[in-house]
Chains A and B, each alone.
Chain A
Amino acid sequence: DVKVTQSSRYLVKRTGEKVFLECVQDMDHENMFWYRQDPGLGLRLIYFSYDVKMKEKGDIPEGYSVSREKKERFSLILESASTNQTSMYLCASGSDSNQPQHFGDGTRLSIL
Chain B
Amino acid sequence: EDKVVQSPLSLVVHEGDTVTLNCSYEVTNFRSLLWYKQEKKAPTFLFMLTSSGIEKKSGRLSSILDKKELFSILNITATQTGDSAVYLCAAATGANSKLTFGKGITLSVRP
Contacts and interface: CB of A to CB of B under 8 A. Distances in A.
Given A97-B31, A100-B34, A45 B99 contact: yes
User: Chain A interface mostly helix, strand, loop or mixed?
Assistant: strand
B56 to A, nearest CB: 12
Contact of B97 (A4, A58, A59, A97): A97
A45 B98 contact: yes
A89 B41 CA distance: 11
Interface in B29-49: 31-32, 34, 36, 41-45, 48
A44 B103 CA distance: 9
Contacts of A104: 42
Interface residues of A, number: 29
B25 interface: no
A91 B33 CA distance: 19
B97 A44 contact: no
Interface stretch (A12-20, A35-43, A66-74, A76-84): A35-43
Given A42-B88, A42-B102, A42-B104, A101 B97 contact: yes
Contact residues of B: prevailing secondary structure: strand
28 contacts: A33-B98, A33-B99, A35-B101, A41-B103, A42-B88, A42-B101, A42-B102, A42-B103, A43-B43, A43-B88, A43-B90, A43-B101, A45-B98, A45-B100, A48-B96, A50-B96, A56-B96, A58-B98, A90-B42, A97-B92, A97-B96, A97-B97, A100-B48, A101-B34, A103-B43, A104-B42, A105-B42, A106-B42
Contacts of B97: 31, 94, 96-97, 101
Interface of B: 31-32, 34, 36, 41-45, 48, 50, 88, 90, 92, 95-104
